[in-house]
Chains A and B, each alone.
Chain A
């Protein structure tokens, strides 16, 4: 290619780029707004009075009120919110405690058989969990664990354990083995090695694993619905009971949905980059 054609090509590019660039940028903004608009509508509706929330055409400029939030919190959601916090936070902590040593064993000096173990762990993620609904229900009934939040905690721990092990393993694989050997030669014990050599590399992985485990257990509905009753129901189960009420309920439902989604929204926004790692089980950084 001659230098001349190259330069004309560049000149053309310089001329074309701005206009098509502006169109693409506007398109991106429009698409982004379209995707977020249901959430914006939910936020606006949650601050409207019930009559204003149920008009056709919609009353965008109606006066704002906290009525929806007041009637949600007066309906007694706290036990279910506390149950959800218990189930998701405790199970996430348990997952990390159990997954870290397992992932360590699988990635530092692995034996060939380990890949079978990894395959087994991944395969449990592919088995639709709904097929275990009946046995788990019957077992819980037999040992008197139905409507007990600890049953959900154990269940969510196991549900998320394979994801966490996979993710941590892919981070641990990046710890250079020379560094581990050097630490050993220098006489560092296991705890010291873990703290000084392994932890810095693995911390982002732990954060991603924690985020994704928290979101998945916070969101879970099917098992929570079947395995809990009045005492240990979680926030998603509480939400499903909302619309049976008569009369207008839209503002209240929007307020409730927002409050229940808030922890996930905050955690997800705060750790956007961790979200991708977590969702792909550490395959995509």
Chain B
């Protein structure tokens, strides 16, 4: 059976560890205190849901994901509309637009932290000095707005992704129908709200869903830009820290299960739409 090797491998590397994680989440298990290892009931879950830093991590994950996905979806839509017409240099602008997505995430995070946000020699404050002279304001971007610093660095990378999928959607519009509507006297706004947006809906759902899956798991930007400090530790970073630095295997597992539940919650709503897209495409 040609399917089996792939299926077995996926099962053993993705499913089995989760079963283990669920088991570990109900245990007192800190590698620093091996003698105290044992069954702990729901103590770890209590900690995840009551400990301020863990609750904060849940909240940061939700906020970070929602902000990044919504902003980059909105910008991606505007830019896709701009690029969905013939103009001089269309291909060049498209290529410029996707460049941010092709920078390795850690490298992009380093670029934003040191070359752009840095208060002393970063490009942002450098440009402020250039424009407004010696007295220009020199904000410390990351310390003053840690969340937004991370959000915009991620938005910069994900807007091209949204734009690419939405542009593909725009270009699959039946243009003869749009043309007919225009000849019948429909205004550009009417065409946009009554024809373009409904046609784009599944594409927006798809890009929003895929974006959510990836941004929920973001580790690179949080790790690089703030090191999880200044109240920006999201769940993946919290898990990494609890497990790697704190060596608290039980608590890290409980937090892992919470991420899974959070994602499943978003995904079950969204999965149906994805399936309908794949069905349509299959005719």
Contact = CB atoms under 8 A, between A and B. Distances in A.
Contact of B14 (A1, A9, A158): A158
Contacts of B159: 35
Contacts of A264: 102-104
B263 A128 contact: yes
Contacts of A136: 13, 17
A58 B2 contact: no
Interface string B89-113: 1101111111111111111101110
A182 interface: no
Interface residues of B, number: 101
A179 interface: no
Given A102-B2, A272-B98, A135 B17 contact: yes
A42 B110 CA distance: 10
Contacts of B243: 133-134, 137
B129 A268 contact: no
Interface in B98-157: 98-108, 110-112, 114-116, 120-121, 123, 125-127, 129-130, 156
Interface in B39-56: none
A102 B220 contact: no
Interface string B23-41: 0100000000000000000
A131 B21 CA distance: 7
Nearest to A249: B114
Nearest to B122: A56
A147 B120 CA distance: 38
A166 to B, nearest CB: 8
A28 B114 CA distance: 28
A126 B264 contact: yes
A122 B21 CA distance: 20
Contacts of B278: 170, 283
Interface SS majority for chain B:
helix
A276 interface: yes
Interface string A267-278: 011001001100
Interface string A34-53: 01101101100100000001
A27 B82 contact: yes
Query: In the complex, which of the residues A56, A154, A215, A250 has the most CB atoms of chain B within 10 Å of its own CB atom?
Result: A56
B141 to A, nearest CB: 14
B88 A39 contact: no
List the 5 shortest-distance A-B pairs measured between CB atoms, nearest first.
A101-B2, A131-B256, A257-B107, A135-B17, A32-B93
12 contacts: A28-B79, A28-B87, A31-B82, A35-B156, A124-B14, A130-B259, A131-B18, A222-B220, A264-B104, A275-B164, A279-B210, A283-B274
Interface of B: 1-3, 5-7, 9-10, 13-18, 20-21, 24, 79, 82-83, 85, 87-90, 92-108, 110-112, 114-116, 120-121, 123, 125-127, 129-130, 156, 159-161, 164-165, 167-169, 183-185, 203, 206-207, 210, 213, 216-217, 219-220, 223-224, 235-236, 239-240, 243-244, 249, 252-253, 256-257, 259-260, 263-264, 267, 271, 274, 277-278, 281-282
Given A35-B97, A135-B17, 13 more contacts: A9-B185, A38-B115, A39-B99, A105-B1, A126-B264, A126-B271, A154-B13, A218-B104, A253-B111, A257-B108, A279-B164, A280-B165, A280-B206
Interface of A: 1, 5-6, 9, 21, 24-25, 27-29, 31-33, 35-36, 38-39, 41-42, 45, 53-58, 98-99, 101-102, 104-106, 117, 121-139, 154-155, 157-158, 161-162, 165, 170, 173, 215, 218-219, 221-222, 226, 235-236, 239-240, 242-243, 249-250, 253-254, 256-258, 260-261, 264-265, 268-269, 272, 275-276, 279-281, 283-285
